[in-house]
Structure 1
Amino acid sequence: MTETTATTSATATATEIPVVPAARIGNPALIVQGAMKGLIAFSAAAEKVGLPKTLVKLVHLRASQINSCGVCVHMHGGELREAGESDARIFSVAAWRDTPFYTAAERAALALTEDVTRIADRSDAVSDEVWNEAAKHFGEQELAALLIEIAAINAWNRLNLASRQVAGQGWG
């Protein structure tokens, strides 16, 4: 596969600038038999706990932003829009601390998402402060479901990034 490129005319000779690398392989979850089913089942178990769908999509979007997963940022931003979320809430997820658009529970979930996604950045993967704030808003089942959703989106991000899946091009 080849890279999609843009040509600039800033110099006498055209310079090729890589825009979007082509996928290295198809989606790994589709290549390995049963993988897609397993990943979906992992999230489906957490979904049964009953966390608000919008909250889960905000968590998915934030982790995907941190991981620079274009496929998942594109997908979950679109899902939030389809669910009727405002542009202000969708576009501000990366700066949630500095905007008034999120509830206290959403803020706690986003902070937990950031700590779990950046797990290698500290000796204690999730600070007590972040955990305790999340525990004010979510019971044990909900916290467990949040952790599963965060782990699941991080798995998707890594599969998509390592195999260079391209945003907007489906699951192939």
Structure 2
Amino acid sequence: MNQKKIGDFLRKLRHEKELTQIQLAEILFVSNKSVSRWEKGKSLPDIDILMKLAHFYDVSLEELLDGQRNEMANNTESTALKVAEFENEEKKKMKRITQILVLFSMVLMLISYILSNYLNQNDIIDFIYGFCNGVTFATLALILIVTGRWGLKIRGFKERITSRD
């Protein structure tokens, strides 16, 4: 999937509607910086935003993911493959974030272990120990929230796609 090509296509579609990035951002309830990143090919919108964009610009999801208008836009198999590719990219992004959070959590747990077992106890050490444990717990909770959010987003998208057929 060519993010730069998709970004150029999104910019072209926005210009056809004679909208600014700020106006489009207000319509989609996102920041104009997000619209700018999409159009520069630095990132892709979430799948629910892609669906809104396809509907708003009156193009198929396949056309958006191709970065161009297609004569045969109703090719279901091709659309399914592109959606699967997008889903895989979302899963990779989720995996990277989860790995970073787990690594961060493990470092904090190691610091807590060292503080509790090898250093003399005093108020500062106790505070740092408690802080590290609290942040570790919060990080693990954040992992659950982030992965759950992405899972729900992907499941909801699949349900919308299958209900249209």
Q: TM-score, normalised by structure 1?
A: 0.27
Q: Which has the larger radius of gyration?
A: 2
- Pick the structure with more strand per residue: 1
Q: TM-score, normalised by structure 2?
A: 0.28
